[in-house]
Structure formats: structure tokens, C-alpha cells
Chains A and B, each alone.
Chain A
Amino acid sequence: MIRQTLRSLFRAPGLAIAAIATLALGVAFTTTMFSVVDAVLLKPLPFRDADRVVVVSDVNTKSGERDQVSAPNFQDLADATKTLQAPSLWITQPITIAGTGAAERVESLRVSPSIFTAFGVSPLIGRAFRDDDRAVVVLSHGHWQSRFGSDPAVIGKALRLEGVSHTIVGVLPPDFRFPDAEIALWQPLVLKDFEKKFRGKRMFQAVARVAPGATIEQANAEVRTIASTLAKQFPDNTDWLTDARPIEQSFVRNPRPLLLLFGAALLVLILACANVANLLLARAAATRSDMEIRAALGATRVNIIRHYFTEAAVLAIAGTAAGVLLAARMIDLVTAIRPPGLPTWNQLTLDWRALVAASVALVLVTLIAGVVPALNASRDVAGHAIRGRFGVAGERGGRLRRTLTAAQVALAVVLLVCAVLLVRSMLAVQDVDTGFDKRGRVAATLVLPDKLYNGQKEVALFTTFLDRMRSLPGVVAVGGVTALPLNRAGVDYAVEIYVDGFTPGQREPEADFRLTTPDYFRAMGIPLVAGRELQPTDDARAPRVAIVNETFARRYAAGREAVGLNVSLYCTRCDRFRIVGVVRDTRHKALDGPITPEIYLPYTQIPHGELTFVVRTSGDPMLIASAMRRELLRLDPDLALSNIATLDDIVARSIDDRRFNARLLAAFSICALLLAAVGLWGSLSFSLGQRRQEIAVRVALGASRTNVWRLVLTEAATPVLAGLAIGVCGAAVATVWLRAMMFGVTAGDPLTYVVVVATFGAIVLVVATAGFRRLATDDVSRLLADA
């Protein structure tokens, strides 16, 4: 049976290739998206007994807001718990490595020595931390490979972190990636005095392993009990509770976009199945006489069903195999465009789980693609319905084929509407006025180690570095700020402010607080709206001054001129800053987020060890970056610039998540559109083939080319119109889930629907025209003969 099927498919290679290619696309999309969903949402984390690792976090009982924990609270919890093992704190810290090659800025983790016990991981080489470890580091596997060339003799070697010598004691295994693949090295957490002291400073993340014999529920109950005791003891803990949750729940922030994309991939697979079912249906009609002969020779209905199922299964196996090969390439592509927001603890690979998913797809494909033609043809043949021998229509299975085409169109409409909405959202976000000029500008962050630089030493180095950069050829302006707009680097938080003459409402007024150098706004191209910019004379000895943005002025100046008002941060009696200028609003946190009040203070008046510099150049901005590195090397070889990027790139990266979702969904929808168009063409050409004689007779009876064109157009448009009607309704439902991902466009955006309907209108016209041309209506005798 299989050999006969293969032979008959080889005799119709066009159909076999179309079916296999169609299925390969559907299976590849589904398998790829399954691999992503599996890596992020389903696969256990790469730790031993990962389901027993919990994240401990504080929850505000009033707002429900989840926060990190403070060191003293967690220490009390660790001392009291009986259900948790190896309770450990961790905090990320960007750090400059030197001493074993060029200075490099990397991400590191400061961790409790017990954290490797909590995760159940042992170093690949060397050892884990001991309680008394101080100036030691454990390298991640990736960093060991990239910086040390996988040298096994690295253990015991020294490297300098922020100018302080540390000894490498271990290297972690390759599959341990926490919290993501970016972490280069781990240091033992030695709490600073202020970290030990304040219970209200919730600045650490915490993990632990549930002790043998205890359950997560018991651990959570115990943690809550201990926390409620601490809440009674310490005022900083009032309104705060602590809980322990499985680590998986804590790290995937929003699975909805991924699940939506997986759903979209499944729709493409179903569409591909419908397409193949349609092809097989057409083939079943074309080979009907063969089946009639088989039935006449004694084939039962089961025999005939088995014949069509075998055909579908052979195509499905070939399509799935091709799809899996294609998925391997697609996974590389997805890995390349993966946004930073997607967790990377599990590598994206085509493993046995993905192959199982592909096998499920295979069964699904065989069932969907095989059952329709098998049942239809067997019913027809078994009944020996030899009809219309002298008639001219007799289009068998036409209604079913049109239904399948309509279903394909409906699915494609749903995907296309969603994709157009997401792409338009992305374009709308891209068009948002950032408030600054991103052209010809490069940014780089410089962090000074606390131990070597503090106070006026920091100011002195930054000032010298600014002067050196200013003197580089091609540099038009240079400025620095603690947090650049739309950049993930830098200190960026809101502080309570007190403005002269402003009466706050229920909540104390807040503003995002940043330190800047003179010339920062000129370097960024942020226009001054009122007053003046910061000057080099606004130093530590000069009166305290501040610059605010338009939103600050509008909200807190309360109808007065903002310039000239005094503002203090944190408390009414704290230092007062006189507002000397107002600058234009910028999109600071996100292009699609709200603009918040901002206050900029001179870095000379509040020294800080980290600044991100912006250099405006008259030439290629990235060429300046290497000159900046050279100048810094001359100042201090242990310092390194990090996050070097043009402002164009920074703005583009800020919408990586959006772009990733839009690109993937656009790829799915274009594929769906093509499949639907191919399905429509297949259905129409088969239908016209069936109706060839009828059309010839109509022409013989006087039908003009226009009459025939109208007939062909009706044939093509009928299933499309039905599919559009169903698809538009489906899209209206599907877009409800997309609302959170939309920007500048509504779910019911009429233009989107017009574009989608027009696209299908164009497809109908193209397909109908091609079908009409193939009919060659000017030669009726040939049409009759062909028929």
C-alpha cells in the first residue's frame, strides 16, 4: 500500500511538493514556537530538583506590590526557618574586570555563599564559596570560555575587580544560567553596614531550597508566620508580608505574548492542514474513477479510507521531517532576534521534547488532512454515485473544498489582523517623539570603583575625561548623566520632592532624579524651554541649582514660573536646590510609557560613581567610541567603558520585545496569507477544471468573456467572503488578548480591517484573473475537448 502510494505521489509531484512544503512550514513554525515556550515556560529550570527551589519576596499588604527583601529581615528569617535550606541573597552588580587582559565591564552577582547549595549546583572545576570567602570569584562557563579560553589552569589565578585583586576559585557548569546568560562572574556577598542596618531597604533577591520532608506550602506558611512576627517587631515591616513561591512562578513575568505567538503558530499549522486536506480532496476527485474501479473490484469503504489515510500519512511524515529541519534553522533565527526580556536560563534547542511536539503535529496533520478527503471520497465511491455523465457540472466535493478554503481565509484573517495591529503599534512607537535628537550620537557608561574613587575624586576624573573627549576630533558636544533615556544602564529612581508653595495631595510629590554634567542637554539635543543650562561654575562651592522638565514645571509649579522656585529632595529640611532651567520632556523609561516629572542636578554638587556619557559627533559616532576607550585607558587602565551604543541603537533596543513579537507574528501571518492564497488558487483551479465543460457550454450558448470572468470571480470570491466574515469576527475576539501589546491603535481599528479586507480582495482578483486566463474562453472547442 505504501509503495503504491509513493508511486502515485511521484506521478503527481506538483501536489506532493506543494503539500510537503505547506506542512513543513506549519510544522516548522509550531516546533520553533514550542521550543521557545518550552524553554521559557515548560522546561524545568536547569537546577537539581528545581521544583523545590523557592523565591522569597516581600509583598505589600495594602497595594499587593511585590518587592525584594532587606538583608536584616532575611537574616532573621534564615535563623528561624526549619523548612528552608540554604536561604541565600543575591544582587546583580555591574563590575569592571582587569588584570587578565583589557579592562572589561561585565555583569556580576553578589551572592550568599550558600546559594550554590540552594540551586543544587556544583562547580565544573574548582570549588564553590565558603562562608569565610572574601576576595574570590566563581566564573560563569560562558565567561570562562570567552575571557580565559576555557583554560583549566584558571583556578587560583588573580583578576582585579574595580581595582581590587580577587582569586578565581571555581567555574560553573555550562547549563547553569542564572538569572540569565549575561552573568560573567559570582562574588561572595559581604554585607555593607547600611545593608545590614535598614529593614526598609528591600534591595536583595532571595532564594532557598525547601528542606527534605517539607512541602512548598509548609515553607510558605512558615515564612509568612515569621514575617508577621517581624512585622509586629519592626515598624519598617508594617504593611509588609513575606512569602515563598516556586522559582518558575517568579521569573516569567508575562507569558501571554509567548502563548499568543504559540497560538499563532498552531493556527498556521491548522491552516496548512486545511490546505493539504484541500489538495487531497481535489486529488480524490481527480482519482475518483480509480477508486470506482477498486470499489467495483471489491474494495470496501475501509479499504478506500485506508488508501487516503496512507496518502495523508506519507505526506505528513515527509512534511514533518522537512519541518523539523526547517525548525532547526528557525530556532537559530529566533535566538538571534531574541529580545533581552526573554529569560535565557534554558538554551533554545531542538531537543527530544521538540521532536515529540513535532510528532504530535504529525498525527494532527495526518488526521486533519486525511480524514476529510477519505470520508468524502469513500462515501462517494462506495455509493457508486456515477452521475452527471452527460451533464456538465458534477463538481464533486466542491462545497467541502470551499468550506476548507473559507476556513483557511478565516484563520489567515485572524493572524493578519493581529499582525497588522502589532506592526502598526510598533511603527507608532517608533514614531513617538523621544524629545531628544538621536542622530550622530554615541553613549558609553563609566562606573568608578568605590574603593578608589569617591567624592571629589569622582568629579575630578569625570571632568578630566569629559575634557579629553571634548578635544577629540569630530566631537561637537559631550555630556554625562546618571541614567540615559531608554537605556537599561544607570541609576534611575524616583525621589520624594518638596517644592516651595506646592501643596501635595494624598501622595507626596515625586520626581525622577538624575545627575548631569554641563552640556548634557546640548549633547542630547534636548531643547531648553526656560532659564539656563547647568554651567561648569555650578560646582560644589556654588549655590545648589536644578533643572526640571516640562512635566515637572507643569505639575508642581502650579501656574507659576518654575524657574526661581526652590525644591528639596527626600525631606523639607534637606538641601534646597534653586530651579534655574526647564528642559523639554523626553521619553525616559519607555517610548510607550508616560512622561514623569524629572529633576536634574549638577554631578559636581552630588558626586556619584557612575555616569553615562553622550558624545555628539560630526562623523561616524562608533568611530569616536574607540578614541574614548583610548583616552580612558590613559587615565586609568583598570577602568572600562560599558554599554557602548549609538542613541539610534538604544532607542531601537528599547522596543526589542515589541519588535520580536511583531516580527514573529508578521512572519506567521505572511505565511498564513500565502498558504490561504495558494489554497484558494488550488481550490479555484480545481473547481474551474471541474466546471470547464460547463463554462464551455455557457460560452457556446452566448456567454461573453465578462460573463465568464464574473463566474470565475464569484467562484473565487464566495469562500473568501465567507472566510472574511468569520475571520473578522474571530479577529475581534483574538485582538482582545492583544490589547496590552497595542500602542497608538485600537483593537477595532477600521484601517487595519480595511487593509486586511483589501489584501484578500487583491488576492481574489489575482487568483481569479489567473484562473480566467487559463480557461482560454476564446477557443470553446478546445475547452469542450479538454473537458
Chain B
Amino acid sequence: MLDLIDQYAVTLEFSVAYALFALSTYVALRGGILSLAAVPLAAVAGFVSLILIEDHGVPIELMLVIGVFVGIAAALVMSLPLLRLDSHWVALASIAFVLMGRVVVLNLDSVTNGAVGAPITRTIQPWHLIVVLSVVSWVMSRHRRSRLGLAAESVRTFPEVASSLGIDVISTRRSLWMVSGALAGLAGVVYANLVQFLSPDTFHVNVAFIMLAAVVLGGAHHWFGALVGALVFTMLPDVLRQYLDEGETIVNGVLLIAIMIFMPRGLVDPTRRVRRRLARLSTNTHLATDDDSVDDDSASQMWDLHLTGRTVEAVVDPLSDRSAIAVERLHKTFGGLVAVDELTFSIPERSVFGVVGPNGAGKSTLLAMISGAVEPDSGRIKLFDEDITGLTAVSVARKRVARTYQTVQLFEDLTVLENIIVGFDQQRITNFWDPVLMTRRSRLEQVELAEKARALMDRVGVIGQPDQFAVTLSYANQRRVEIARALATDPQVLLLDEPTAGMHKLGTQAVGELLLELRDQGLTLVVIEHNLELVLNYCQRSVVMDFGQVLYEGPPAECLADPDVIEAYFGRKADAERIESLIQLRQHPSSSTR
């Protein structure tokens, strides 16, 4: 064993430098920034270390610390143009930075000695490398599920959802970018010291490509993957060199292609086992599509215990005169299509408010405009008499307006509990250092949030384990987790886009009763629904929309009895009769057979 370490000592040392490069790339990637900028960032730190070590005799310990700050400073400068870009273009722009870096190095003769290159004395010892790697690993592991770590997950997977939870996408990305810069700075100092010679090609585009590849090879879903990828990429060719005369790096290329085909999530994949099981299950049963799967038989039994049979009729207090949300002449077109047409209505505070209408009536667009995801062309939106027109989604969310989505948007790498905890982001007080230093408040917060999240799971009736991956739940349960996540933000207004889609009767009833319960606690609930039973049984008021306009506004039963509505919504007489029977069902619930 010691012989082996001896034999590959140099390669192992280099693999530490590459690991730092790879981690820098990984951190950016974690926030959805596909960037090759670790290399130019490292170059800045590398050349600074050249000057400080050669001309001023700065000791390596101090140099490593300086490297971190140089990396952060360089990242800050580079973020100005880079992070303004759409995520796809960041990759391209970062390549341009790599190439520009080379030109700068070529031309800053006085510092870099131009094309000739400059030697640098090695002062780094193996124990330095071990310390650096340990500290970095500690920070990475502590931040895997920290506040920043969870925010990164949300920003990467569904930026829009992140905003709706009050998480600022841009500032989260900027934080990650700074961390990435710090790691790149370390990488630059270590790498410069190990190669002992800096030339324009030391930090070139080849290194950048290979570092990105190493991260994905090792697994871009866990920080440890970056280490593994860097190790494999440096060690494998070195081992093969003993058996081959030339072309030993070809093996890396072959390995990359094979991994991308057979193991697209890389060598280290924390969800691998779960995914395999899920793949097996989904070929046997239709697990992810509806509630008729195995776990929901027991689920409905559990609900029987919870269900009270309460409907909107039991709500006696009259509707408030004050409106939680009021829209005035709200208008939105997409191209030539009018999605929302001069819409005016208001939603009373502390009410359950239904929005119904045929597909394409503009319901989801309305919701998107209220939540700030889509900016209206004209008109006003008021939240408790405060004008919120044109505010960004984050600002609206921070005014305690939460929402769920028509299609489930859960964070795939997170467990049920973690998914819900993401929603607590704005109430958290821990900063970057708390989890690293394991402060008391960090531990307390962790325990407290886990408890609160569990309570929310119970409250919305999620059937599943807190620590199972959320995407392994049945569809209906995934929807419930989404509601729990939205509730975690402690909203005063909750917008729900088809919350009961894919649920069976008991599930729908449970959601309806939850809505009433939340109303009792002071929330205003806005529900887009196709399920008329839910609207009739649990909404106090509703609007019917068609072609972006209000067709009828009033109590649900009245709405659905209106002949215009019946014609627009159902068209045929047969359906109208169905509605009438539904209304009767609501008026005489006792005659229900269930």
C-alpha cells in the first residue's frame, strides 16, 4: 500500500489540485450555472501567487488564504457580465473568459513573462494538501443540506418555484459563485505550486473542459463525486502509462462516453438505489400516475379517521368586505392571443375562492400574474390594498403569497422533509458559517425545522416517510408535499393550481377540509379547479372564466347554475344535467350514497 502511494505520490498530489478545480465547477453547477470559469479564476490566483511567492517570499500557508480571497474577488468581477446572462449562455461566455485569460497572460509580460513562462518554487508540502482537502470536504459536507445547499437545489431544479418560495435566484447564484471562486482560488495556488511553472497554457481551455467532464463523470449530484471524478481522471491514465506507450488519456474519453450512456448521473449518485427501485416499480404498476396504487388503500383508511365531513355550509361567518386580492382591468396577451382580457374582480380575505373555467380560459395566467411570475400588459393587482403590480415573484412571495403548480414540481434530489424545509428559507437565521462551525443555533434550527416540517406533513396528510425521496411518492402525495412546502412559507394568501388533480374522492375531500381549516386560521385561499365537487363543497365564492373574461362571479352554486356558464363550460345539455344533480347533491348531502 505504501509502495503504491509512493509510486503515485505526484499524481495523487495533482489529483488534489484537480479536485479543487472540480469542486469549484461542481458548486456552480449545483446552482444551475454551467460554467468553465474555474480555470480563469484559478489563473488569477495562480499568477498572484507567482508574484507573492517569488518576489515577496510569502509563506504558502498565508498564500493559500490569500488565494481564497483573490478567487472570491475575481469571481465578483466576473459575475458582473456573467450572471446577468441566461444560464445557457453562461457556458459560452465562460469559455470566452478562458480564452481571454490566455491572451492576458501572453501580454502581461512584466508579470507573467509572456509566452516564455515563469518558474515558481514549490513550497507546498503534502500535509498542506491534506489540510486543504479536509477543510474543503468538511465545508462541502456541512453545506450539503444547509440553508444554502437547499436553496441551491431549488434554484437549480426549478428557479421559478424557488422564487415563489421567497428564495432570490440571483443572490443564491451569486453566493454559490463566490464559493466557487474561493475554491478556484485555492485550486490556482495549489496547482501553480505543484506544476512549478506557469505559462499561458497552464490554465487553458483543455483544463477547463476536463474539469467539467471530471465533475460529471464522478457525479454532479454529490460533492464527493467531484473528488472521485478528479481522482479517476488523474490516476487512470497514470496507471495505464505503465502498459501503453502513447494515447493513455484516450481511456478517459472512452470512460466519459460510457458513463454518459450507462450511468448518466455519474459514479457517485446518492439516489441510485431509489431510482432503480422506482424504475422497476413503474414498469410493474402505474405508481406515479394515480392514487389507486398500493399505498393508497391504507391511505384512504387513514383519512377516514381524519375526515370530518365538514363542507362550506358549516362556515357561518359572513364574507369579509375587505379584499385580500383585487385585480382591476388586468390584461395579458401572448403574441396575438388574449389570455386575460380586462379582468376585474376581488377575492375577499379569509375565504376559499374558486376559479373555474374551461381549458385555456386564462386561469393559470391569472395565477402567474398574481404571483409575479408573469408581468401583466396593463391593469392593477392589489394585495390587501397595496399595489403589487409589476413586483417580481420573489417580492410577491416575501409579501406572504404562496402558490402551488399545475404540474408537480418537487426537487428531485431532496427527501420529503427537505422539500418542505426549503419552504422555510425566509424564516431561517443561519448564515454561511453556522453549519460549518456547527453553532448552537444551527443545530437548534435544524431540529426545529424538521419538527415543523413533520407537523406540516401530518397536517396536509402526506402518506410516506419523511426521509424518502419526494419523487418516490405517489402522485397525489407529491401534490400534498407541494401544498406543505407552500404552507411552510407561512403565507397569508395561498394560490393553488388544481390541487386535487389525480386524487380520488377521499383525497379530494381531505384537501377540501384542509382548505376550510386553513381559512379558519386566517388564510385566504384561491383554488383553480376542474373538480366541480370541490368548488361546490368547499368554496365560498368563485368566478367562472372564459376567453380571459369573467363569465359569472358569485357563490359557486349560482355560478354553475347560470345558463351562460353552463353553455360556455359544458356546451351540451347532458353535462348541464350532471351539474344540476351535483347541485342537488350539495343541497341534500344525506342522499349521497357514499
Partners in one complex: no
